[in-house]
Structure 1
Amino acid sequence: MKNIAAKQALPNHVALRVSHVSKDFQLPTERVSSLKGALFNIVRHKKSGFTTQHVLKDVSFEIEKGDFFGIVGKNGSGKSTLLKIISQIYTPNKGSVQVNGKLVPFIELGVGFNPELTGRENVYLNGAMLGFTKTEIDDMYDDIVDFAELGDFMEQKLKNYSSGMQVRLAFSVAIKSQGDILVLDEVLAVGDEAFQKKCQDYFFQAKREKKTIILVTHSMADVRRFCNKAMLIQDGIVKKFGSPNEVADAYSSSFLEQEGKQLEKENEAIRLEVGDGVRMTDVVTTADGEKNHQLDINQDFSLVFSFKCDRDIEDAVLSFSLIDSQGRLSLSMASSLDGKDRVFTTGEHRMTFDIENIFASSDYRVDVAIASGETTLFRQIGIYQFQIKNALRFNESMTHPRVSMTLQ
Structure 2
Amino acid sequence: MTDKNVNQNEKAKTVNVVAQKTDDRPVVLKVEHVAKYFRLPTEQATGLKMAFLNWTRGIKGYTEQHVLRDINFEVKQGDFFGIVGRNGSGKSTLLKIISGIYMPEKGKVSVKGKLVPFIELGVGFNPELTGRENVYLNGALLGFSHDEIDAMYDDIVEFAELGEFMDQKLKNYSSGMQVRLAFSVAIKAQGDILVLDEVLAVGDEAFQRKCDNFFSEIRKDPTKTVILVTHSMDSVKKYCNKAILIKDGEIIVSGNKNDVADRYTLENLKREGKESADDDQKNAEEDQYPTGLNATVPLLAVRPSKEPVCTMKEGFSFEVEYDYRGDKDFYLACSLNDIRRGGVPFGDSFDLYQPGHHTVRFHVPMDIFNNGEFRIIASLHEYENGRDDPEHVRMVAFTNEDFACDFSMRDPKGTDNFALLNKMRFGYEIVDKDLASRQQPITTE
Q: Tell me what 1:339 maps to.
A: none
CA distance in 2, matches of 1:235, 1:251: 13
**In the alignment, does 2:135 pair up with 1:123?**
yes
Once the two structures are TM-superposed, the CA of residue 245 in structure 1 deviates from its matched residue by: 0.8
Mind listing any 5+ residue stretches in structure 2 that lack a counterpart?
Answer: 1-23, 279-295, 298-321, 335-349, 363-378, 405-445
Pick one of 246, 267, 271 that aligns with 2:259.
246
Q: Tell me what 2:332 maps to.
A: 297
Note the alpha carbon deviations across 1:212-267, whole angstroms, 9 max, x for none. Answer: 211111111110011111111111122222121121122223234445654999xx
Question: Aligned pair in 2 of structure 1 residues 169, 35: CA closer, same or farther (>3 Å)?
Answer: same
State the percentage of identical aligned residues: 58
Note the alpha carbon deviations across 1:276-312, whole angstroms, 9 max, x for none. Answer: xxxxxxxx99x9583455956269xxxxxxxxxxxxx
> Does the aligned pair in 1 maintain the 2:329–2:386 contact within 8 Å?
no
CA distance in 1, matches of 2:144, 2:329: 53
Amino acid at match of 1:17: K
Corresponding pairs, count: 300
Secondary structure at 2:177 match in 1: helix
Pick one of 174, 191, 197 that aligns with 1:179.
191
Pick one of 104, 107, 114 that aligns with 2:119.
107
Question: Aligned pair in 2 of structure 1 residues 387, 172: CA closer, same or farther (>3 Å)?
Answer: closer
> Does the aligned pair in 2 maintain the 1:67–1:229 contact within 8 Å?
yes
Amino acid at match of 2:332: I
Secondary structure at 1:20 match in 2: strand
CA distance in 1, matches of 2:398, 2:59: 54
Q: Tell me what 2:145 maps to.
A: 133
CA distance in 1, matches of 2:259, 2:229: 16
Q: Tell me what 1:155 maps to.
A: 167
**In the alignment, does 2:384 pair up with 1:364?**
yes
**Mean alpha-carbon deviation: is it higher for 68-77 or for 236-245?**
236-245
Once the two structures are TM-superposed, the CA of residue 200 in structure 1 deviates from its matched residue by: 1.5
Q: Tell me what 2:412 maps to.
A: none
> Does the aligned pair in 1 maintain the 2:266–2:395 contact within 8 Å?
no
Note the alpha carbon deviations across 1:373-405, whole angstroms, 9 max, x for none. Answer: xxxxxxxx9xxx9745487999xxxxxxxxxxx
> Does the aligned pair in 2 maintain the 1:363–1:388 contact within 8 Å?
no
Question: Aligned pair in 2 of structure 1 residues 390, 237: CA closer, same or farther (>3 Å)?
Answer: closer
**In the alignment, does 2:234 pair up with 1:221?**
yes
Pick one of 61, 64, 69 that aligns with 1:57.
69
Question: Aligned pair in 2 of structure 1 residues 259, 235: CA closer, same or farther (>3 Å)?
Answer: same
Question: Aligned pair in 2 of structure 1 residues 165, 367: CA closer, same or farther (>3 Å)?
Answer: closer
Secondary structure at 1:187 match in 2: coil
Secondary structure at 1:101 match in 2: coil
Note the alpha carbon deviations across 1:181-205, whole angstroms, 9 max, x for none. Answer: 2111112334222222222222222
Question: Aligned pair in 2 of structure 1 residues 140, 58: CA closer, same or farther (>3 Å)?
Answer: farther
Once the two structures are TM-superposed, the CA of residue 134 in structure 1 deviates from its matched residue by: 3.2
Once the two structures are TM-superposed, the CA of residue 163 in structure 1 deviates from its matched residue by: 0.4
Question: Aligned pair in 2 of structure 1 residues 235, 360: CA closer, same or farther (>3 Å)?
Answer: closer
Amino acid at match of 1:135: D
CA distance in 2, matches of 1:389, 1:226: 26
Question: Aligned pair in 2 of structure 1 residues 13, 187: CA closer, same or farther (>3 Å)?
Answer: same
Amino acid at match of 1:195: F
Question: Aligned pair in 2 of structure 1 residues 367, 12: CA closer, same or farther (>3 Å)?
Answer: closer
Q: Tell me what 2:209 maps to.
A: 197
CA distance in 2, matches of 1:132, 1:207: 24
Q: Map 1:321-360 to 2 at 5 A.
A: 354=354
Pick one of 100, 103, 119 that aligns with 1:91.
103
> Does the aligned pair in 2 maintain the 1:294–1:387 contact within 8 Å?
no
Amino acid at match of 1:163: S
Secondary structure at 1:88 match in 2: coil
Q: Tell me what 1:15 maps to.
A: 28
Secondary structure at 2:253 match in 1: strand
Secondary structure at 1:152 match in 2: helix
Question: Aligned pair in 2 of structure 1 residues 126, 51: CA closer, same or farther (>3 Å)?
Answer: same
> Does the aligned pair in 1 maintain the 2:33–2:72 contact within 8 Å?
yes
Secondary structure at 2:200 match in 1: helix
**In the alignment, does 2:104 pair up with 1:69?**
no
CA distance in 1, matches of 2:213, 2:264: 25
> Does the aligned pair in 1 maintain the 2:329–2:382 contact within 8 Å?
no
TM-score by length of 1: 0.62
> Does the aligned pair in 1 maintain the 2:118–2:186 contact within 8 Å?
yes
Once the two structures are TM-superposed, the CA of residue 152 in structure 1 deviates from its matched residue by: 2.2
TM-score by length of 2: 0.58
Question: Aligned pair in 2 of structure 1 residues 118, 203: CA closer, same or farther (>3 Å)?
Answer: same
> Does the aligned pair in 2 maintain the 1:16–1:100 contact within 8 Å?
yes
Note the alpha carbon deviations across 1:6-45, whole angstroms, 9 max, x for none. Answer: xxxxx97222222222111111224445666545535644
Once the two structures are TM-superposed, the CA of residue 131 in structure 1 deviates from its matched residue by: 2.9
Amino acid at match of 2:244: M
Question: Who wins on radius of gyration, i.e. which is larger?
Answer: 1
Secondary structure at 1:140 match in 2: helix
